[in-house]
Amino acid sequence: MAANRPEVIRDKSDMRAWSRSEKYRGKTLALVPTMGFLHQGHLSLIREAKSISDVIVVSIYVNPGQFAPSEDLATYPSDFHGDLRKLAEAGGVDAVFCPKNLYESGIERKKMDKDPSFGEEKAVSCLEKEEGGDGHETWIRVERLEKGLCGKSRPVFFRGVATIVAKLFNIVEPDIAVFGKKDYQQWRIICRMVRDIDFAVKIIGSEIVREADGLAMSSRNVHLSPEEREKALSINRSLTKAKSAALHGQNSSQEINDLIVQEICDAGGRIDYVEIVEQESLVPVENINCPVVICVAVWFGNVRLIDNIEIKM
Helix and strand element counts for the chain (H, E): 10, 9
Closest among 296, 223, 302 to 37, alpha carbons compared: 223
Beta strands, E only, the chain: 7-9, 29-34, 55-60, 95-97, 176-180, 202-206, 270-278, 292-300, 303-311
Are the CB atoms for 264 and 245 separated by under 8 Å?
no
42 catalytically annotated: yes
Determine which one of 42, 81, 136, 223 is catalytic: 42
Closest among 233, 231, 254, 251 to 243, alpha carbons compared: 251
The three-class DSSP label of residue 145 is coil
**Active site residues per annotation:** 42
